[in-house]
Amino acid sequence: MKNKLLTILLVIGCMPSFSQQIGEVSPFEFSGYVKDVQTVFVPHQADGNWLSDNSFHNRLRLKYYPMDWLTAEVQARNRLVYGDFVKILPDYSKNAFSKGYFVKLHKAWLADSSVVGLSEIDRFFVQFTKANWEVTIGRQRINWGLNLVWNPNDVFNTYSYFDFEYEERPGTDAISVKYYTSYTSSAQLVYKAGSTFSEMALAGLYRFNKWNFDFQVLGGLVKSDYVGGVGFSGNIYGAALRGETTVFHPKADFRDTASTVVTSISADYTFESTLYMQCGMLHNSAGKKQNAGALSVFSNEELSPKNLSRGRFNIFYQISYNISPLVTTGVSAILNPDDMSAFISPTVNVFVSNNMSVSLMGQFFYGSKQTEFGNIGKMGVLRFKYSF
């Protein structure tokens, strides 16, 4: 069944939009994109060989609205990857998929010594909406984060800032029940499925608005931890302010184990000239104060909001500017002030048309051995993207 569904999605990708064929009254919506990504990696070691690979990436989105209270959606990502990374990283095809799903909805349809073909369904759900109630069942994105870089409140769908190619971010196999208590407030309860009790999660979130700020409070049991958190977002004199704090306490040895507290705060502002600036800070009470240990950029291990950083503190800064309506350039940076390692990422985006863009990006890691961002290297990425 899963293989047949992947095949159907691949075939649909070659077809025009259903809505274009049937007209505006069609209950179907179909969209997606294709992109080609060329990557060159220069290791930190002076005698290290340069590595390169190419990834052809296709995403398909299909929505179905059979009734005004019912929505069904499925999304798939298909990748053809070839080059040095496939050759040198062990079990590339096995480790290229998102971790932590309850149901297996992926397949490596090509696995050779230097090329792999991968398909994965990362959205697959039905949503029921009636009056103030909203119930979603299946693989979905549950976004509880408020910040733009680090999200300690996002206990179900943690993502890595360095995984720039996965812009949709992973989902989770869950049942979500949301009730809108007013126009600006809601209560949500989420159960995440797992094959064992330690892989399951049950947590609730309440959001409300006060003093023109949005606030949220969350709590529950997520895998092996009891969690509790708060968050806020709002504007002061045109600048956006966001903050999140989550406390994680192991349910095992409850009295003898210390809690982990992860906090992030950020501010961003857009000037009339289109100059955009953002700054933020992350504090992880379980992080190391000195050399944090090299970050594993190429690892596909399941992330947790408890390990958003290896160091105790991370500082983020970003600036971008629209050179013209079609050209945007910018640079972002992360600094570990304890071990003085840093990550810098310059970008240039050129929009050739409304649905086609070309991007050039760099990821540069600096620092001594065993620091958080040191001993890794430098990476350059050229991306062509066409949306339909």
pLDDT band for position 299 (cuts 50, 70, 90): low
What's the mean pLDDT when you consider all of the chain?
90
Q: Compute the average pLDDT of residues 217-235.
A: 96
The domain 2-387 belongs to what CATH superfamily? Porin (2.40.160.10)
Q: Which residues contact 189 (CB under 8 A, 6 or more apart)?
A: 176, 177, 178, 202, 203, 204
Other beta carbons within 10 angstroms of residue 153's beta carbon come to 26
Bridge-based pairing state of the strands 356-366 and 172-182: unpaired
pLDDT of residue 44: 81
Residue 19 CB-density burial (10 A; 0-12 exposed, 13-18 middle, 19+ buried): middle
The DSSP line for 107-148 is: EEEEE-SSEEEEEEEEEEEEEEEETTEEEEEEEE------SS
For the segment 172-218, what is each residue's pLDDT rounded down to a tens digit? Answer: 999 999 999 999 999 999 999 998 888 899 999 999 999 999 999 99
The CA radius of gyration of the chain, in Å to the nearest whole number, is: 22
pLDDT of residue 257: 78
Q: Which residues contact 284 (CB under 8 A, 6 or more apart)?
A: 260, 261, 262, 306, 307, 308, 309, 311, 312, 313, 314
Residue 99 clears pLDDT 90, i.e. is over it: no
pLDDT of residue 292: 83
Going from N- to C-terminal start, the domains of the chain cover 2-387
- Can you read off the two tokens belonging to residue 166? 């996965």
Residue 223 clears pLDDT 50, i.e. is over it: yes
Alpha-carbon distance of 56 to 42, in angstroms, equals 21
The strand pairing partners of 365, in sequence order, are: 343
Alpha-carbon distance of 248 to 262, in angstroms, equals 8
For the segment 342-381, what is each residue's pLDDT rounded down to a tens digit? Answer: 999 999 999 999 999 999 999 999 999 889 998 889 999 9
The strand pairing partners of 192, in sequence order, are: 174, 201
Most confident of 5-9, 94-98, 188-192, 296-300: 188-192
The strand pairing partners of 9, in sequence order, are: none
Alpha-carbon distance of 77 to 141, in angstroms, equals 15
